[in-house]
Structure 1
Amino acid sequence: MNKPENTIQYTILLSFIFGLMIFISCGDDQKNSHKANQSQPHLGSRTSKILEIDGLRFKDLNRDGQLDPYEDWRLKAQERSSNLVGLLSLEQKAGLMLISTTRMKNEASFGRGGNNDSVTSGFNETDMSSDINFFTRKPLGATMVSSAGTTKDVNQYFKRHFILRANVSVDSMAKWANRLQALCEEGEFGIPATIASNPRNHISSDASVGLSLGKTPFTAFPGELGLASMRDPKLVRAFADISRQEWRATGINKGYMYMADLATEPRWQRVEGTFGEDANLAAAVIREVVLGFQGDSLHSGSVALTTKHFPGGGSAEGGQDPHFDWGKKEVYPGGMFENNLIPFKAAIDAGTSSIMPYYSYPAGTDYEEVGFAFNKRILQGILRKRLGFRGIINSDTGPIEMMPWGVEELSIVDRYKKALEAGVNLFSGTADPELLIETLKTYPDLMPLVDDSVHKILVEKFQLGLFENSYVDEDASRHIKKPEFQKTADLALRKSIVLLRNKKNILPLKAKTKVYFETYLERGKSSPFTIFSTEDSQWDIEFVDNSDDADVNILWLIPKGKSLFQSDGSPLHVNLSDNGIDVARVNKMTAQKPTVLVLNYTNPWAIDEIYTDDSKNIQGVLATFGTTPEAILDIVTGKFNPSGKMPFTTPISDEEAQNQKSDVPGYMEGPSYGLFHFDEGLSF
């Protein structure tokens, strides 16, 4: 029998031989990889020295004078990531697993000081309460969530993922992004920043921080429901490609979007961000969106997408949202859980880079009643194993400290542990990695999961080309809104409009018709409406300033419910009088004149307070989903033939909406449920 010390020496010798074989094999793989990619990329550098090897140039990101595998752009992203993971400390890995909001200097997106008109491209360097005050009323964990100053985030916390919610000029964004990337490049390994954003290219009447932005400097397309109503896959792809170009030009390289959730619960306050109630339609749209933003695979011009909210948040109990305790249950009274997975499968097949599980938990099923970020059977059994997703699982903002539904009794450390074991790779909403670090030190057996997470996170950065060049041309960014982009958007704005009723062929309006065009504004304005009038001769009609002088009224109603973050748990309704519309005024006007009623849908509104199919004077009805008055006028005057189709069914009354099954599409609720039906839409 060998002595113990001889056994140890023998083991060491075998390990050395095995390691040498791997080294030789890796060398062969490296040579093969070199042969596979010899095209010199453009290198953007502020502080890294450039190495020249065999006539090629590389960034010496860790400043050691040598070409490390992770610095070698000829290697595959997986090889480069594996090398870099092995160089990082526990603290650096923890920092890479966090993403939280960061603010530009003087920026006021969270309503705390500052003014967006005075925003500069500098950093906000003061500690501040961030997502916690916006997304929920109070923390449920042992600590408050805070957002550190940008420099502290990068240098002390080793963070390299940031959510930019500022709505400022493209020039300010580009300069700020470049400053952030320069700060990151100065770090030990020169790891670049991922800069994420919510949607910025839509006309929205219900924009909120954390959901979507309203009017921005980017080219404006219809809302997500409008993209679905177009029924035009090529135009959806064009929208996504244009948005991609504009985002990358300003330094944004990741999208916290789009929603694959189904609009099966008409009261849900996030219906506006969906692609409608039909799983197959939503799947078709989100496929084109992913391919338009990312391409067939991630590359240096892509915007990496985060598809949300797995496995679907559209069947929320009572329509209440799980940002709050009273909305934490996802219910399936119609037994249609599986229906929610169809759009996610399409996004996965198209290559979506990340998927975000929601805060809610499945109620009344055989799955564990814990939030989806903690739900191992959902994330591992369905998302990874059944649907084959291999990308990043990115939690929504704050399930650890703020919305830990189903695991409220666990400590913060044990919540991290449960989420890691469930499969979360990237945690959103937390700035300080201290408790994640404590978790990893308390449970060292979690480190393989951490290494796998960091590997996935770095692969995305390598694929996006950020290690080679994370900078943007600040001068070029000022010219992102190109005329050809606007032309495409204008087409989409018109194709998204749905003609629902056209009694007596009132549309298109006859030449010289006198038109009074009234548009309702947001809830809370001193005046509830505005009159659209123009001297522009592009429409052969005459605009008048009051209804008495008109031949036809055009009333564009823009219902607007209580903001998501004003939720108090009280019942939600979809009738017009509870959502900002002066029903008495509308009825008075429509009783006097032939009327074209235009309704902007952010939810499937019930409009029986002002309209039924027996209404005499309301002769034309159109649906919009975020568009312009000019687009509406092109439809009603016949300059553009309407072609849109409804993305959901609207309930015939609020009572029907209260009694429907939350997971069942409106078109399956029965013949007495709907007024305007899914896929309905007329042309001239």
Structure 2
Amino acid sequence: MKATSTLVGRALQHEREKKLRKATILAALTGIALTVPASAESLPTRQPHLGTRTIPILHAQGLAFRDLNRDGQVEPYEDWRLPPPRRAADLLSRMRPDEKIGQMVHGSLYTTGDDYIVANASQEILDKHVTAMITRLAATPAKLAAANNGLQAIAERGRLGIPLSLSSDPRNQLEGVAGASVAAGGFTAFPDPLGFAAIGDARLTRRSADIVRREYKAVGIRIALSPQADIATEPRWPRIDGTFGSNPALAAQMVGAYVAGIQGGADGIGPDSVAAVVKHWVGYGAAADQGFDSHNYYGRFSAVTQTALPRHVIPFQAAFTAHVAAVMPMYSLPKQLHDAERHSIRTAAGFSRYLLTDLLRHRYHFTGLVLSDWGITNDCHETCRVGAKPGAEPNWSDFSPAWGVEDLAEEDRFAKGVDAGIEQFGGTTRVDALMAALRDGKIAQAQVDRAVLKVLTQTFALGLFEDPYVDPDTAAKLVGNADFLAEAQRTQARSIVLLQANRGLFPLSRATHRRLFLRGLAPQPFAALGFTIVDRPNQADAAIVRLAAPHQLLHPNFAAGRVQHEGALDFQPGDPDLEAVRKIASTTPVIAIVHLDRPAILTSLRPYTAMLAGDFGATDAAVADALTGIVRPEGRLPFELPSSMAAVEKQRPDLPDDSVAPLYPVGFRAVVPTPKINRRASR
């Protein structure tokens, strides 16, 4: 009798728990819009591959499921036949408050050499319940895949078996800048986004983004902290090279194509997707104060105005149309914007309810996740505001772009961010401060549940709950394979912009210019084409010189300022590169190639060049292909090149291409006859 009573009691308790979970699911789903494909609502019937290390596999009705919570039953959140929102709501109902809070932060993985600091990662994942992390690990594709698998094996040990969602800054370009991108290493290196804008082919952009998707997915990266949809309206701004230029309509085409490529389609994310995070909402490119970047206290303001703002929104709307998974707000504080009640915006975008809720959600109807940029809730101490002391090394640990809320307590910065519309905080694992804000009533449980539901839904949609693991051998074969590299090199060459073309020099031919003098280029690509490389300019038929766009190091005492290209855009008197070109030109025709990471002023350089071109990230081999006509350089300027610094200083930082009498207008390309294509057989 006692046994029967116990069984009945257990049955009643189980029924009550089911009803409670159902009520929680319905409550959580109410009013939630999610950026997942409509097809996600249909019930899949095909058995997915299950990847596991220690999680048991359950079998029911001839199908297999991962027993994530190890209770011997197929719970709704473990059932891959159910749509992601349903599974997310069920999992939400099973989570403790600390587990929910862990979903609202997006941490940073620490590395040593070519591996992670595993003890640190274990603490973040298992003790703090953090399951979203950025990886900046620079390793071979196989090593990176294996290291990411090791992290997923740690996550398996969590109470509910929630997998990691690993993110990365852009990796598929030649150079990396701390806080913005990672050098390609073994990944396929395309030109910077400016190069795709220079070509202007949306299909090419989508195909290239699809290659990025396949490479990321092969190593276990499932969130791309890109594309950068900012409009490059202030030519001195250091982050122009990550944008698609200054033309809002062209940038919109490129952004939409990139999102569709990296997410594997334009209808939302699924198991084959890498979730895209479009950034930085909105007006980041309209940098105030000489174009200084808002990573830094001295550059914290955006000059975007109410009248110019709609132009800056245009590329984001293309991302929304392509159902981008997430949006990242800018660091900047827009000092010239006001809300509907004409109140000035007094905080950075990540703390602005007007920008994140009134505009992003209500006016522009974005339904995906809002992920803050990195470190916005950190304390901004003296070093953050004035830089490191003379002789001291600036440190990223002092970094905090909490503009407008620097003097609030950390707990209150979290609360203000949540109230504005942030659902996940990047670059922090301070779950204690976020939990304190919940405990103290500064944020509501409903706000937490809505945010966590959105995060979980995207993780389910990506298929990570079924198989978070990757094959290192496949990664080694796929990432940076010969076909990808060949396409990338062709794209680099195509993106080069001819600004001044000499009919006698282009395309370079061994018949007329066999002997070349090179400065800033490796000899091998040209030697392989049959050219003779000489040691002195006066021995050459032509000289090819590669130059960086002019820049200054104005703030070496700031962690970001020391790696960013700031200041003047023109070659200053006595500049070593300018003097070298002038000297070479006295004896030999000069072909100058300038890397246009910003809109360089070439007025003083042009008189010494017989031919002038700009690149947006190209190997020396790609330059050789373009100059010899193996690949036709077809780029058009994605921004104007001003004629003087005086013109730059008079232009409006929030409007594109508005300097007086630019040396080269936006969209410019020198008119040259179609070259006779050389053949690689000469190599």
TM range (shorter): 0.7 to 0.9
- The question of whether the paired residues in 1 share the 8 Å contact of 2:195 and 2:617 is answered with yes
- The answer to whether the aligner puts 1:678 opposite 2:666 as a matched pair is yes
Whole-angstrom distance in 1 between the partners of 2:561 and 2:496? 30
Whole-angstrom distance in 1 between the partners of 2:348 and 2:526? 56
Of the three residues 175, 184, 187, the one matched with 2:146 is: 175
Tell me which amino acid in the other structure corresponds to 1:607: L
Whole-angstrom distance in 1 between the partners of 2:481 and 2:77? 37
Deviations 1:588-647 (A, max 9, x none): 222332111111100001122322xxx2x5221111000012222222222222211111
Whole-angstrom distance in 2 between the partners of 1:228 and 1:388? 27
Tell me which amino acid in the other structure corresponds to 1:575: D
Tell me which amino acid in the other structure corresponds to 2:453: H
- The answer to whether the aligner puts 1:56 opposite 2:33 as a matched pair is no
Whole-angstrom distance in 2 between the partners of 1:444 and 1:56? 45
In structure 1, the partner of 2:32 is none
- The question of whether the paired residues in 2 share the 8 Å contact of 1:354 and 1:392 is answered with yes
Change over 3 Å in CA distance of 1:384–1:578 after alignment to 2? farther
- The question of whether the paired residues in 1 share the 8 Å contact of 2:282 and 2:312 is answered with yes
In structure 1, the partner of 2:647 is 656
- The answer to whether the aligner puts 1:195 opposite 2:166 as a matched pair is yes
Of the three residues 207, 229, 239, the one matched with 1:260 is: 229
- The question of whether the paired residues in 1 share the 8 Å contact of 2:236 and 2:566 is answered with no
Deviations 1:479-522 (A, max 9, x none): 122222122212211111111111444311243314434343xx
In structure 2, the partner of 1:637 is 628
In structure 2, the partner of 1:590 is 585
Paired residue secondary structure (2:137): coil
Tell me which amino acid in the other structure corresponds to 1:675: L
Out of 210-219 and 504-513, give the one that drifted further.
504-513
In structure 2, the partner of 1:495 is 494
- The answer to whether the aligner puts 1:303 opposite 2:310 as a matched pair is no
In structure 2, the partner of 1:363 is 335
In structure 1, the partner of 2:134 is 163
- The answer to whether the aligner puts 1:82 opposite 2:92 as a matched pair is no
> Deviation at 1:80?
0.5
- The answer to whether the aligner puts 1:406 opposite 2:404 as a matched pair is yes
TM-score if structure 1 supplies the norm length?
Answer: 0.85
Tell me which amino acid in the other structure corresponds to 1:603: R
Change over 3 Å in CA distance of 1:419–1:544 after alignment to 2? same
For structure 2, list consecutive stretches of 5 or more residues without a partner in the other structure: 1-14, 30-38, 340-344, 379-399, 675-683
In structure 2, the partner of 1:507 is 506
Deviations 1:79-134 (A, max 9, x none): 01111111111111111111121123xx2xxxxxxxx3xx24x5342xxxxxxxxx
Whole-angstrom distance in 2 between the partners of 1:570 and 1:195? 29
- The question of whether the paired residues in 1 share the 8 Å contact of 2:647 and 2:659 is answered with no
In structure 1, the partner of 2:482 is 483
Q: Any residues of structure 2 matched to 1:516-555 within 5 Å, and which?
A: 516-520=516-520, 532-533=523-524, 536-539=527-530, 541-555=531-545
- The answer to whether the aligner puts 1:340 opposite 2:312 as a matched pair is yes
- The answer to whether the aligner puts 1:123 opposite 2:121 as a matched pair is no
Of the three residues 369, 372, 390, the one matched with 1:392 is: 369
TM-score if structure 2 supplies the norm length?
Answer: 0.85
> Deviation at 1:649?
0.4
- The question of whether the paired residues in 2 share the 8 Å contact of 1:534 and 1:543 is answered with no
- The question of whether the paired residues in 2 share the 8 Å contact of 1:514 and 1:544 is answered with no
Change over 3 Å in CA distance of 1:33–1:602 after alignment to 2? closer
- The question of whether the paired residues in 1 share the 8 Å contact of 2:411 and 2:434 is answered with yes
- The answer to whether the aligner puts 1:40 opposite 2:47 as a matched pair is yes
- The answer to whether the aligner puts 1:319 opposite 2:291 as a matched pair is yes
For structure 1, list consecutive stretches of 5 or more residues without a partner in the other structure: 1-14, 108-115, 126-148, 521-529
In structure 1, the partner of 2:413 is 415
- The question of whether the paired residues in 2 share the 8 Å contact of 1:335 and 1:663 is answered with no
Of the three residues 154, 160, 164, the one matched with 2:125 is: 154
> Deviation at 1:535?
7.2
> Deviation at 1:36?
2.8
Corresponding residue pairs, total: 610
Whole-angstrom distance in 1 between the partners of 2:493 and 2:40? 48
Whole-angstrom distance in 1 between the partners of 2:401 and 2:102? 21
Out of 271-280 and 477-486, give the one that drifted further.
477-486
Paired-residue identity, %: 31
- The question of whether the paired residues in 2 share the 8 Å contact of 1:599 and 1:623 is answered with yes
Change over 3 Å in CA distance of 1:515–1:632 after alignment to 2? farther
Of the three residues 209, 214, 226, the one matched with 1:240 is: 209
RMSD of aligned residue pairs (Cα, Å): 2.7
Whole-angstrom distance in 2 between the partners of 1:20 and 1:553? 77
Out of 408-417 and 381-390, give the one that drifted further.
408-417
Out of 633-642 and 569-578, give the one that drifted further.
569-578
Whole-angstrom distance in 1 between the partners of 2:291 and 2:526? 44
Tell me which amino acid in the other structure corresponds to 1:585: A
Q: Any residues of structure 2 matched to 1:94-113 within 5 Å, and which?
A: 94-104=101-111, 107=112
> Deviation at 1:532?
2.7
- The question of whether the paired residues in 2 share the 8 Å contact of 1:597 and 1:621 is answered with yes
Whole-angstrom distance in 1 between the partners of 2:574 and 2:295? 21
- The question of whether the paired residues in 2 share the 8 Å contact of 1:240 and 1:292 is answered with yes
